[in-house]
Amino acid sequence: RRPSNRGSKGVMDFGELTVAQLKDKCAELKIPKTGKKAELVSRVKLASTTKPKRGRPRSQTPKKSSSKKQPKNAGSSKKAAPTSRSKSPAPRSSSRKAPRARSTPRKPSSTKKKSSSSHSTAKPPYAYIFEPSPSSGGILTESGAQNIANHKYVAGGNTSFDNFMNPYWNSWVEFLPLWMAPNLVTTSGGLFCLMSFAVTWYVNANFEPYSTPYFVLMINGFCTWAYYTLDCMDGKQARRTGTSSPLGQLFDHGCDCVCNLAHLSTVMAVLNLGPTPLAIAGQVILQFSFFTAQWQEYHTGALPHKFGELGVTEVNHFTAAFSFVFGLLEGAGFLDTGEFFNSVAFGNMKINEMFIWGWIVMNAVLLTISVGKTLKAAGVECLKHLATPFLASVLGMFLVSTSPDVLTSNLRPIMLSLGFFFCLITNKMIVFSMAKMTFAAFQVDVLPLLAMVVLVPKMDGEQIALALKVLTGWQAIRLIYWCRNTIIQLCEKLDINCFTIKEKGD
């Protein structure tokens, strides 16, 4: 793929290329293709910026028998610029004639102004607790906001099902009015997830067996499909209206992070699993895996959308069909979902438990693949950023295992408090990846969750319920406050509106 982002002098920007693309470029230029991404970009940039001008012959080594006159500046202290195919040019012998001098000396590559890139190869410095704070207030530093303004999104590729669905999404986006902002399309999809989560919570807060009506399952399936369809149309609406911006990526992926809670609620309502630690384990592995995908983009510059032919499109459509079809079967009297999923399938393991374990294993495999690719590109130091989500996962599982009553009476508050925390650090990772800002290894927002785990054994049932509600409210406020301030700062930097299309004269 030829990068479209070029600097002011027409210099190709190699920072947005993946490691595989950089290695291909190294092979093309016949230079070493080993090392980390920063070394590859530096090597390719040096080789490319020192190419001779078009129309001039490439002189690798001047001929000894050349009858051409030696240039005037041959004896000067300045060395001739190396060609793009030379690995490390050796000093020329004084007995050899130097190549013909250019009429205008080429400026050293180090003096060229760097072009903006989608993902800088220079890694931000590591911070263990405290991140650099903006001098002017807000969330982003001035350089971070500028990096987001220059950011170019690098997608992870399409699956066969993506290619099959694309013509439908392209045709359906034509029904959207041109005044509708892309972020408003994303928000509309998120409202479907909110409706699904709220309806399921109202009729069956703890996912008790035999308690979710069939029409709720069908509503959840439709809402999941509507959410993802609009999620795939928002970018097309942005290109259609000419309003593409880096804020769209933040809004899109941030909304996806929050909607994971609704997807989990949809699946749990079908499985009739009940308030068990296995339900929390399914949520923790899902949100940890989603965080890891954003962490991979932070270090490599490319967000993974798929592994082979399994991607987010397949997972979302399966979730929608899973809920809608089982609701339809139960409504038609062909199947009782509660009885079916709570029946024993193998040994003492029920069907719903087998399903959750399969879900956990699948996400663990995807998470492992993502970690392996990131380690290969960024080194062992990148693992520091996984410390806080790992700690939160352990704390969540420890919280629900302290007492059976804690989970039985407070499943939804526990899910929401954990979910809002993961949404906060994931959205932060998304923004800091685009801004090339330092993400601290230890996120202090995990401290309230840690305090809750310490205090629960000393509380009675009513105190635990109250403390969990306070914790959930605090995590929700932190998430809303952080996202709101970030969006306001980006809208001011990009000179755009969040939910409306700004007219040229505004």
Q: Of 151, 253, 263, 299, which residue is the catalytic one?
A: 253
**Are the C-beta atoms of 424 and 482 separated by less than 8 Å?**
yes
Inter-axis angle of helices 160-172 and 214-241, nearest 10: 80
Structure tokens at 407: 């989970």
Mode of pairing for the β-strands spanning 344-346 and 310-311: unpaired
**Are the C-beta atoms of 24 and 30 separated by less than 8 Å?**
no
Handedness of CA 165, 171, 176, 181 (dihedral sign): positive
Is 253 in the active site? Answer: yes
Measuring CA to CA, which residue among 261, 198, 183 is closest to residue 483? 183
Q: How far apart are alpha carbons 85 and 61 in whole angstroms? A: 12
Q: How far apart are alpha carbons 169 and 175 in whole angstroms? A: 10
Q: How far apart are alpha carbons 417 and 467 in whole angstroms? A: 11
Q: How far apart are alpha carbons 496 and 161 in whole angstroms? A: 34
Q: How far apart are alpha carbons 255 and 423 in whole angstroms? A: 9
**Are the C-beta atoms of 437 and 151 separated by less than 8 Å?**
no
Where do runs of H (alpha helix) occur along 242-378?
Answer: 246-271, 277-300, 312-331, 337-341, 351-378
| Other Cβ atoms closer than 10 A to 408 | 15
Mode of pairing for the β-strands spanning 349-350 and 306-307: unpaired
Angle subtended at Cα 209 by Cα 206 and Cα 214, rounded to the nearest 5 degrees: 100
Q: Residues in the chain, how many?
A: 506
Q: Which residues of 370-388 are buried (b: 16+ CB within 10 A; e: fewer)?
A: bbebbeebbeeebeebbeb
Q: Which residues of 105-136 are buried (b: 16+ CB within 10 A; e: fewer)?
A: eeeeeeeeeebbbbbbbebbeeeeeebeebee
> What are the distances in angstroms from CA 373 to CA 44, 292, 386, 431, 433?
22, 11, 14, 21, 17
Point out the residues that are catalytic: 253
